[in-house]
A = this chain, B = another copy of it.
Amino acid sequence: MDSSEARQRALVLVDKPSIVMMLGTVDAQGAPEIKAMVKMRNDGLRRYWFCSNTSTRRAEVLKHNGRSCLYAYEYAPDAEPLVCRGVMLAGTAELSWDDDLRRSLWQDFMTLYYPQGPLDPDFVVVQFTAERGNYYEGLENADFTV
């Protein structure tokens, strides 16, 4: 698997509509943290949008340190053939309260989390921009730039 194929296969994985992605961040004490995020939208391999809450620990950490990573995988040890693939993307995450962006990502079920609707002050968008990645499948893996 070369870089070009790794990039191609990684795109297939992150383009899956309901893929869960793990966001990795580093707190003020230098310790890593992980949180699963439901992807709302992505633009190829490069940019991703997630919904979060202004009041959370995650948002507080990202205000001070945007260096982050995204990770997604598929693992089905009992499938024939066995499925074991994943991608890690390194890049930066930033918070946005842009009204147009929040409106464009809004879905009805989200009132459960943001009772005031798309402009609820607690509704914040996490925008992740990837710079480089590593894709693995079975025993193979390859780095690529984004």
Cβ A69 vs Cβ B32 within 8 A: yes
CA distance A86 to B30 in the complex (A): 22
Q: What's the least CB distance linking A129 to chain B, in Å?
A: 14
**15 A/B residue pairs, CB under 8 Å, sorted by A:** A20-B75, A22-B34, A25-B32, A26-B31, A26-B32, A30-B67, A31-B67, A31-B90, A32-B67, A34-B34, A34-B69, A34-B71, A36-B86, A38-B75, A112-B139
| Copies of this chain in its oligomeric complex | 2
Q: What's the least CB distance linking A136 to chain B, in Å?
A: 9
By a beta-carbon cutoff of 8 Å, the part of chain A in contact with chain B is: 18, 20, 22, 24-26, 30-36, 38, 67-69, 71, 73, 75, 77, 86, 88, 90, 112-113, 139
Q: A18-B77, A20-B75, A113-B139 are in contact. Are A30 and B26 (CB under 8 A)?
A: yes
Task: Please pick, from B33, B69, B75, B88, the residue contacting A69 in the complex, using a CB distance under 8 A.
Answer: B33
Q: A22-B22, A22-B71, A77-B18 are in contact. Are A32 and B32 (CB under 8 A)?
A: yes
Secondary structure of the A side of the interface? strand
Residues on B with C-beta less than 8 A from A90 are 31, 33
CA distance A36 to B113 in the complex (A): 28
Residues on B with C-beta less than 8 A from A77 are 18
